Amino acid sequence: MAKVAQPAPRLEWDTPLYQQARTQLEHALELSDVRELTATRLRHPERALILMLPVEMDDGSYGSFPAYRVQHSSVLGPTKGGIRYDEAVDLGECAALAMWMTWKCALLRLPYGGAKGGVRCNPRELSTTELARVTRRLTAELAPFIGPELDIPAPDMATNEQTMAWMMDTYSMQMGYAVPEIVTGKPVSIGGSLFRHEATGAGVVMVIERACERLGWELAAQACAVQGFGNVGGIASSELHDKGARVIAVSDLSGGVYARDGLDIPTLHAYVAEHGSLEGYTKDVVRITNEELLELDCDILVLAAREDQVTGENAGRLRCRLVAEGANGPTSVEGDRILAERGIPVLPDILTNAGGVTVSYFEWVQDLGRLFWDRDEIRRRLADKMSDAFDRVWGVSQERGISLRDAALVAAIHEVSAALEARGIYP
């Protein structure tokens, strides 16, 4: 009897953000000469964990927090990716971000696959002790699925080196000895790397600088608007300012500030260090919203906040000459199409913000060897990696006549595909 075709099941991670990642992948697969078996293996994560974390709160009550960890591909090595704390965290977001991490690691030729995880919570409403309990419970639950040769977490949205220190300590207590290589992005005092904090933002500017060289622009002559003034956008703003570019606008969750002749970035950093955000800053600036920042007249727009910022609704109103994606997935598929039609190149996220995972790789290598490098050596090694990846992406784009995003995805897919073809499917 002939078998009746069954409808494809709806997968639990099949959310709009994951669909965006899949749409990008499917388009790139059409441009890539890979076997269908390979394409099938890349479309879905290898493993997806759903956890529920019971945590004692400061008042003696118990909270219960959904948590996730998605490991997309381990064909190139252990999986690697951040842990975020946010009210919007869900399985689809983690699956999409894990897939993008696979392409990012492959593009930079790091021996990693992609992973991502998070806890659905409002970290601003939790005390430091509550955050510590959430983190330690998460680590204990993840312990069978993470490890220096299996899956290596890192900081992400609303997590930091203290979060990683708690994770490293919890894992080490379970193992019975110190395991600094279990996480990256931790304090230098327990095996963290110099230049890790600055790496993502500095890498964004390294890619922008290379793009300006290719486009025949002088970076110091460009007016830049930066959405986001945290770990990525704040560092990118400083790097642009130090290189002579005119940073005319920056923003954070509280809104943004604008000055056509350029902002005093060091003064803004000092204000944020004292007050916690840009809220209330008015000296020689015009207050603007995050939405208004995106539509400012500028040369370079740096998207360093979060996903889905440039969409089909607002892409036609952007007034920049170049978009640089410091965040993950900040441009929707429809937004991408509109920018391409308008001739505005996009420096894609899997290339532009790869500085963080690259220096995380350096940290992991240093921990494994118990041999540490100085800041100048790390910056030099990062610049070499970012330049090599940019040149390969630019070359594929020019040779094939495709966008920089498509070129980056094609280059990354070829790296993963070569490994899949060589290893085969077991058993």
Per-residue three-class SS string for 318-385: CECCEEEECCCCCECHHHHHHHHHCCCCEECHHHHCCHHHHHHHHHHHHHHHCCCCCHHHHHHHHHHH
b/e per residue, 291-300, with b = 16+ CB within 10 A? ebbbbbebbb
Above 50 in pLDDT, residue 271? yes
Question: Furthest-apart CA pair in the chain: how many Å?
Answer: 78
Judged against a pLDDT cut of 80, whether residue 8 lies above it is answered with no
Mean per-residue pLDDT over the chain, rounded:
95
Residue indicated by tokens 């949205």: 157
**Catalytic residue status for 116:** yes
The mean per-residue pLDDT over the stretch 62-84 comes to 97
d(CA 201, CA 179): 28
Q: Name the pairing type of β-strands 322-325 and 346-347.
A: parallel
Q: What is the mean pLDDT of residues 324-340?
A: 95
Per-residue confidence band for 4, with pLDDT thresholds at 50, 70 and 90: very low
Residue pLDDT, tens place only, 132-183: 999 999 999 999 999 999 999 999 989 999 999 999 999 999 999 999 999 9
Evaluate if residue 113 carries a pLDDT over 70. yes
Q: Which of 80, 116, 186, 385 is catalytic?
A: 116
pLDDT in tens, 185-236: 999 999 999 999 999 999 999 999 999 999 999 999 999 999 999 989 999 9
Residue with more model confidence, 321 or 157: 321
What mean pLDDT comes out for the span 105-126?
Answer: 97
| Structure confidence by residue, pLDDT tens digits, 333-365 | 999 999 999 999 999 999 999 999 999 999 999
Q: How confident is the model at residue 58 (pLDDT cuts 50, 70, 90)?
A: very high
Give the predicted TM-score (pTM) of the model: 0.93
**Residue-level pLDDT at 10:** 57
pLDDT at 396: 96
**What's the pLDDT score for residue 109?**
98
**How much of the chain exceeds pLDDT 70, in percent?**
97
242-257 confidence digits (pLDDT tens): 999 999 999 999 999 9
- Binned at pLDDT 50, 70 and 90, residue 111 comes out as very high
In this predicted structure, the answer to whether residue 67 has a pLDDT above a threshold of 50 is yes
Q: Which residues of 321-351 are buried (b: 16+ CB within 10 A; e: fewer)?
A: bbbbbbbbbbbbeebbebbbeeebbbbbbbb
425 — pLDDT class (breaks 50, 70, 90): confident
pLDDT, tens digit, 9 for 90 and up, residues 366-424: 999 999 999 999 999 999 999 999 999 999 999 999 999 999 999 999 999 999 999 98
- How much is the pLDDT for 3? 47
